Amino acid sequence: MAKRFFIKTFGCQMNVNDSEKMAGLLRDMGYEKAQTPEEADIVIVNTCSVRAKPDNKAYSFIGNLKRLKKRRPDLVVAVAGCVPQKEKEQILRFPHVDLVFGTFNFVKLPQLLERVKREGRVVEILNRKIPEEEKLPLVDSYLENPFIAYVTVQRGCNRFCTYCIVPFTRGRERSVAPHLVVEEVKRLAERGVKEVHLLGQNVDFYGYQGTDLADLLYMVSEVEGVERVRFTTSHPAGFSERIARAIRDIPKVCPYVHLPPQSGSNRVLERMNRGYTREEYIEKVQMLREFVPNVALSGDFIVGFPGETEEDFEQTLSLVEECVFDQAFVFEYSPRPFTKAATFKDDVPKEVKNRRLQTLQELVKKQALERNLERVGKVEEVLIEGFSPKGSELYGRTADNKPVAVEGSEELIGKTVEVEITQASPFFLKGKPVTTGVRSKR
């Protein structure tokens, strides 16, 4: 029987893509995917340390594998990703962990597993990019969804926001050569992928020998078979008119931008070292809406950053009022090791953080509902991804990234369907197909 792997992934899309690559490497070695850790010969925990919550969850997941390892000593337990990258000592305290590696060398998984077989426990944490990283675009990702794929185009971050651990766990910014991105997208399209998400920690700063993100969007959109191109995460200091024009001018590029403001208070933005003011953020959004009036906007926010007053928070609310969001990911500030803000006094009480989080979420919920209600009765193109979790309806997304439950049957999966929107809630639409026609373009 073939050996089996199980990968548990915490964190962002970048981590999800790293896991898909590791799964691809294991598949190429003859492994199959297991449904549970119990059925697996190797369990990899791909960790995230961006906030206290995913960090704690990763530790408890690792802790829970102890019993399994006791029962099955031949099981290989591996810990990867952002947590061991900076805190390998903490991971090494778990005696049942056989392999520890980081964000720079996961491409070497096959060699590392060989070493575990020979040597027992293996720990390899590297601190900078290795040449093998350039082979990653050549590894076929293991796709969870056969129609939608992530493609990492830029790794690392040079910006050092004072709250953020990412520059420490992912290293300096580096971009993937455009011909390698296009080659990967072509192979994905040949495998039936319809939608690609170009990923970068700050994807707007993508740059490779004169090729910028706008150029890359043109290049990727030329790949036959690809119907939709998305990109994330944007940074307000990097998001340019060239990118806004590319969204407007390239039919395949989706009118959706994730542009995290973090805060609407200049005082807080400055202390976060974000590199822009609230006025500049608002201007960027205005510029974007001038080029792409129907664009959907989402963002990340941190509430309760050290020293954030009620007045600062009011400024965030007023920025949200002014910009209008379709979705917001709101996080309570938590101090992270190695960051500058960890030296600031974490002085906003937990209850206040929580209240601010609720207030901000309520405001965005109201805005999102208003925007979604306007769509009832309209016809939208929806790429059907599969069945909804309940299984009774189909599930897909509009070009601007709204999830839609669609009436219909299996043969629509993987197709772009015209859907009449019949119902709206803040973050979800419902609809029924107008025709079952297949569209190749938006």
* Closest C-alpha among 96, 110, 85 to residue 31: 110
CA-wise closest residue to 88 among 98, 79, 77: 79
Q: C-beta of 164: minimal distance to ligand SF4 in Å?
A: 3
Look at residue 331 and give the partner it binds from ligand SAH, ligand F3S, ligand SF4, none, a contact being a CB closer than 5 to 8 Å depending on partner kind. ligand SAH
| Residue 387 lies near ligand SF4 (rule: CB under 6 A) | no
44, 5 contact by CB (below 8 A)? yes
Measured CA to CA, the distance from residue 85 to residue 125 in angstroms comes to 6
Please state the closest distance from residue 157 (CB atom) to ligand SF4, in A.
Answer: 3
- Closest to 31 (Cα-Cα) out of 100, 78, 63, 67: 78
Residues in the chain: 442
Which residue, 6 or 325, is less far from ligand SAH as judged by CB?
325
Q: Is 161 annotated as a binding residue?
A: yes
Note whether 205 and 238 are within 8 A (CB). yes
Specify the residue, 215 or 300, whose C-beta has the smaller distance to ligand SAH: 300
Show the CA angle centred on residue 246, arms to residues 242 and 249, nearest 5°: 130
Give, in degrees to the nearest 5, the angle at Cα 273 between 271 and 278: 80
> Does 260 help bind ligand SAH (rule: CB under 6 A)?
yes
Shortest spacing between CB 232 and ligand SF4, in angstroms: 12
Give all strands (DSSP E) within 270-365, no chain letters: 296-303, 327-332
Binding partner of 169, given ligand F3S, ligand SF4, ligand SAH, none, CB within 5-8 angstroms per partner class: ligand F3S
Contact partner, 85, from ligand SAH, ligand F3S, ligand SF4, none, Cβ < 5-8 Å per class: none
Does the annotation place 254 within a ligand binding site?
no
Q: Is 157 annotated in some ligand binding site?
A: yes
For residues 69 and 67, give the distance between their C-alpha atoms in angstroms, rounded to a whole number.
5
* Measured CA distances, 92 to 11, 18, 122 (Å): 21, 22, 10
Q: Are strands 32-33 and 403-406 parallel, antiparallel or unpaired?
A: unpaired
Cα separation, 253 vs 399, whole angstroms: 9
Q: Answer with the entry of ligand SF4, ligand SAH, ligand F3S, none that 160 interacts with (C-beta below 5 to 8 A by kind).
A: ligand SF4
Which of the listed partners (ligand F3S, ligand SF4, ligand SAH, none) does 167 bind, with a CB threshold of 5 to 8 Å by partner kind?
ligand SF4
Report if residue 201 touches ligand SAH, rule: CB under 6 A. Answer: yes
CA angle 253, 255, 260 (to 5 degrees): 110
Check binding of 169 to ligand SF4 (CB under 6 A): no
Question: DSSP letter string over 407-436?
Answer: ---GGGTTSEEEEEEEEEETTEEEEEES--
Q: Which is nearer to ligand F3S, 167 or 433 (CB)?
A: 167
User: Which span sits near ligand F3S by CB under 6 A: 44-52, 105-113, 132-140, 257-265?
Assistant: 44-52
- Judged by CB under 6 A, the residue of 23, 157, 360, 399 near ligand SF4 is 157
Q: Choose the contact partner of 11 out of ligand SAH, ligand F3S, ligand SF4, none; CB within 5 to 8 A by kind.
A: ligand F3S
Compute the least distance from the CB of residue 48 to ligand F3S, in Å.
Answer: 3
Work out whether 213 is an interface residue with ligand SF4 (CB under 6 A).
no
Stretch that binds ligand SF4, among 160-168, 215-223, 286-294, 314-322 (CB under 6 A): 160-168
Q: How far apart are CA 296 and CA 256, in angstroms?
A: 5
Applying CB under 6 A, the span of 46-54, 107-115, 233-241, 356-364 interacting with ligand F3S comes to 46-54
Span from 106-114, 164-172, 180-188, 244-252 in contact with ligand SF4 (CB under 6 A): 164-172
Run of H or E including 45: strand 42-47
Interface with ligand SF4 (CB under 6 A): 157, 159-161, 164, 166-167, 201-202, 235
**Would you list which residues are annotated within the binding site for [4Fe-4S] cluster?**
12, 48, 82, 157, 161, 164
